[in-house]
Structures are given as C-alpha cells and as structure tokens.
Amino acid sequence: MAKKLLTELMIVEASKRRENKIIVEDDSIITDAARDRASQLGIVIEKKKIAVTINTAQQVQSKSTLGAKETIAIGSDHGGFGLKEQLRPYLTSLGYNIVDLGTNNEEPCDYPDFAFAVGTMVAKGTASRGIMIDTLGVASAMTANKIPGIRAACCFDEFSARSSREHNNANILTLGGKTLGVELAKSITKVWLETVYSGGRHQKRLDKLAEIEKRFLKTS
C-alpha cells in the first residue's frame, strides 16, 4: 500500500512482517531515520507514481466546482492522536480538504517525524497550511520552524491564534493534545484558519524574519 509518510517505525513493522520492499508514492516524505533503518534491515524503498483513476479525478473536479476550500496537512504524535482524530472530521465539515499524515494510533512515536512531514508539505506548497498536535504543541513548533519558509505558532486561545495569523502570517498551527479541550481546540483552529494576514506594517517584520533565516541557510 502506498504511503504519504514513511517513518522508522513503519520500517520496523514491515521487517516484522518479513517484507523486503515498501512502495511509496513519488511525492511521499521519507524520514532520514526510516532510510537508515531500511538500509540496516535490507528493505528496499521504491518510489512509484500512482495513477489517478477517472473516478478520483471526477471527485476532485466535483469538489472544485462546489468551491472546496484549501488543502490542510494535519499530523500528530501519540500525545496528540486523540485530538487529531476529533479535529479532522470537524475540519472536513468546514469544507477543508484534509491530508492526514499520521500517526495512526496511540503507540509511542517521535513528534519530529510528523512535524517534519506537515512542514514539508506546506513548504513545498502541496498544502497551503498545516496543523500539528503533540502533548503540549511546543515541541512540534520547534521542529517545524527548522524548515525554511515555515512560521509555526503554538496557540492556546483564540487571541493567540488570531494574532499569529493577522500579525505573523503563521502557516502552521501547533496544538497541545493534553492541554486543550476539544471544543477550545476547535474554536482556536477555526479562528486560525479564517483569520487573514493583515500585511501593512507587519510585512517589514516578516521580511526581517526571512532575512535572519537566510543568514543561516547552508549554501551549496
């Protein structure tokens, strides 16, 4: 089965099933840890372009004609899994196209894998914005903000959500799965998604932020 995100844990699970090859879509995100473990276990990772069926294409066209909203990448570690599972259908009901990058259960996993996956989709433009949930939300923000072009904000109320969008043009929202109730998380997320960046006097500050980022980017 094709996967959008391949982590070290998935490699280990494949090894337990005695699989020697894993096929992923050509635009899938493969973590460095996953590549290393696959090499150790002798598992081949094969990228393959997955054809879009006529039915799927028709569904996409149908959604676009209905005015479907932007694509949002969502992810979590085990500490945020429960909240992610409750937020996902809520966001779908608001009309957003949701891409769930995992995790898929409450077994312990590493938040950097999933925060990196969400951040990469946003940085590449395959998702317009992203949402990442761990126990507190802080660790995922730290991870995502290592990716050039990402402005991740850990929000804990509607005011911080609105400000992070209006003033900072945040493109990833991180939430605490163990610190926020479901209804508060829903209201924070809704405000964050619906608030528009105001630009103006805030743009020169974002320009300075981008300039600082450029100073530390590695050059080839």
Cβ–Cβ < 8 Å for 34, 60: no
Q: Is 172 helix (H, G, I), strand (E, B) or coil?
A: strand
The catalytic residue among 4, 88, 162, 167 is 167
167 an active-site residue? yes
Long-range own/partner contacts, residues 25-30 (CB < 8 A, 24 or more apart): 25/49, 25/50, 26/50, 27/126, 28/2, 28/3, 28/4, 29/4, 29/5, 29/101, 29/116, 29/117, 29/120, 29/121, 30/6
So which residues are the catalytic ones? 167
